[in-house]
Structure formats: structure tokens, C-alpha cells
Amino acid sequence: MLEAARQALGGATRVLVVTGAGISAESGIPTFRGEGGLWEGFRAQDLATPQAFARDPELVWRWYRWRRDICNRAQPNPGHLAVARLEQTHDSLLLTQNVDGLHPRAGSERLVEIHGNIDTARCTACWTLTPIAELDDGVPRCPRCAGTMRPHILWFGETYWEGTLDVGLAFAGRADVCLVVGTSGMVTAPTSVAMHAKRSGAFVIDVNPNTSEVTRFADAWLKGPSGELLPELIGAD
Ligand code: OAD
């Protein structure tokens, strides 16, 4: 499988990469649906919603600050570094579901953080984006209009921001290889971008220690942790 995937990548010009929480597992960030996803007895799925924020914004902000601390303390792992390296050898685009900021810190520049970013807040009234580091504790107020700020994260039940997925779909239609890493595939939009790449003729590689929604239509399943397999597939610095 690794050899077939290497060959496909070696012959590819354009590579679409789609990543999920699994690529950051080896950096010590708990995945959404795996072990360690609980905080003070709450499941992520119960806090990352507009309803939870409307009910108790203070609680949701506390949870995000806790997650932000974990993300900021974590370091990119060899999987993130290998993905960043692809930009030097291929025309590549990275769509990540992760909000942890580890891809940009590893050097990826052609990326779209389709679910937002843990270091950024957004005004619920005027949509101004502000780094959380510049805001007060508690439930911060917008520096521009004094509206309530929320984490700039796509929550369960919300629709994607305009244009976010279009760039991925356009690239998917022209990609030679689609590399999908560390996602259960249960969020349908990113999975459907990978499916679109497949239908358009791309060779799909799934990197995951477990089967996922993507394994079903992948041309190669590299079974194992991405921190070990991606450097083997792509090469390490
Ligand atoms: P999940 O928690 O659903 O899935 C994580 C995947 O990573 C699983 O398939 C694991 O088998 C795999 N995995 C675990 N360790 C790994 C490793 N070392 N190397 C590679 N893979 C590994 O996370 P996502 O699929 O990213 O969205 O979930 C997507 C979205 O669910 C999140 O972005 C979030 C949530 O809804 C929003 O908040 C909008």
C-alpha cells in the first residue's frame, strides 16, 4: 500500500490534503470523538454549539480557553511537518478541519482552516475578527462595537462560511492525488470534497490507524499513526 501511494504521489502534479483531529493526536491534542475528549464531564458536541453559547457563554469561553492553552502548548509533529513539505514539491492545497493552528506553525501556507481558528474571536454583531490574546477574560466585548465576542469556530449545526469550501472543491476537481489524514469522515462536507476529488480521477490515500468513512472509497489505506507514516510517504527534512 505504501509503495502504491508513493508512486501515485511521485507522479502527481496537484495534491489536495484534507486533515482532521487525528493528525494532531501525536501532538497531545485529544481527538473529538476519541478518548480524552471530555472536559468537566461535558462532551465537545455539547459545548461547540450556538445553543450552548446562548445558554452559558461564560462556560463555553472557559472551555475554549482551556482548549486554546492545550493547542498553544502543543508542538507540530512530524506529520504536520511532512504535509508542509509537500508545498515545496507539489502544487498543493491543504483543507484542515483542525482549529489548533499546528499546520501554519509547521509551515503550511496554502491552507484553509475550514472550521476556524482557536486563537481568533469574532463579534456576534459586526463580524470583526480579533486575536483572543488582545481581549479581556470572561465573555469579551468587541473592540469596535462592544458586541459579544465568540470563538471564531464553526459550531455543530452551523453552515460553512461563504466561499470556504468552494476553493477546496475547485482544487479537488483538478487534483491528481487526494491525501486524507486523521479524520473519521463523520463531518460530511470535507469528506465530500475528498469524494469529489475521487470522482474527478484523483488517487485517494487515507492515513488513519482505524477505518473511517474515507477508507471505503480510498485507493490506498495507510494503516497507522500519521506522525510515522507521513514522513515515510512524503519524506522528512
Ligand atoms: P474525529 O475525532 O471524528 O476523528 C479523528 C480520527 O483520527 C479518527 O478516525 C481516528 O482513528 C484518527 N486518528 C487517531 N489517532 C491518529 C493518528 N495518530 N494518526 C492518524 N489518525 C489518527 O475528528 P475529525 O474527523 O477531525 O468540527 O472530526 C471532524 C470535526 O468534528 C471537527 O473538526 C469538529 C467536529 O465536528 C467542528 O467543530 C465543526
Predicted local distance difference test score (pLDDT) of residue 37: 62
> Which of 80, 150, 208 should be mutated for ligand 1, with most atoms under 8 A from CB?
208
Inter-residue contact 179 to 93 (CB < 8 Å) = no
Residue in 90, 103, 115, 196 annotated catalytic: 115
Structure-block grid coordinates of residue 149: 465576542
Q: Say yes or no to pLDDT of 140 above 70.
A: yes
> Which atom number of ligand 1 is nearest to the Cα of residue 182?
21
Instruction: Categorize the per-residue pLDDT at 221 as very low, low, confident or very high, splitting at 50, 70 and 90.
Output: very high
Inter-residue contact 130 to 114 (CB < 8 Å) = no
Model confidence over 145-196: pLDDT tens digits?
Answer: 999 999 999 999 999 998 889 999 999 999 999 999 999 998 789 999 999 9
- 6 C-alpha to center of ligand 1: Å? 24
Predicted local distance difference test score (pLDDT) of residue 187: 79
- 96 C-alpha to center of ligand 1: Å? 11
Q: Say yes or no to pLDDT of 40 above 90.
A: no
| Count of other CB atoms within 10 angstroms of residue 168 | 24
> Which atom number of ligand 1 is nearest to the Cα of residue 34?
2
Closest CA to 179 of 195, 201, 203, 196: 203
> Taking all residues of the chain, what is their mean pLDDT, rounded to a whole number?
94
Judge if the beta carbon of residue 117 lies within 6 A of ligand 1. no
- Outline which parts of the chain fall under CATH 3.40.50.1220: 1-28+76-115+163-237
Predicted local distance difference test score (pLDDT) of residue 237: 65
According to DSSP, the β-strands at 116-123 and 129-131 are antiparallel
Predicted local distance difference test score (pLDDT) of residue 35: 63
Provide the β-strand partners of residue 151: 121
| 152 in active site | no
Predicted local distance difference test score (pLDDT) of residue 43: 83
Mean of pLDDT values over 20-37: 83
Closest CA to 72 of 11, 119, 130, 132: 119
Predicted local distance difference test score (pLDDT) of residue 24: 96
Q: What is the C-alpha separation between 48 and 178, in angstroms, rounded? A: 28
Predicted local distance difference test score (pLDDT) of residue 38: 65
Judge if the beta carbon of residue 68 lies within 6 A of ligand 1. no
Model confidence over 193-208: pLDDT tens digits?
Answer: 999 999 999 999 999 9
Q: Say yes or no to pLDDT of 69 above 80.
A: yes
In the chain, % of residues over pLDDT 90? 87
- 157 C-alpha to center of ligand 1: Å? 17
Judge if the beta carbon of residue 21 lies within 6 A of ligand 1. yes
Q: Say yes or no to pLDDT of 136 above 80.
A: yes
- Outline which parts of the chain fall under CATH 3.30.1600.10: 30-73+118-153
- 147 C-alpha to center of ligand 1: Å? 32
Q: Which CATH number does 1-28+76-115+163-237 carry?
A: 3.40.50.1220
CATH architecture under which domain 30-73+118-153 falls: 2-Layer Sandwich (3.30)
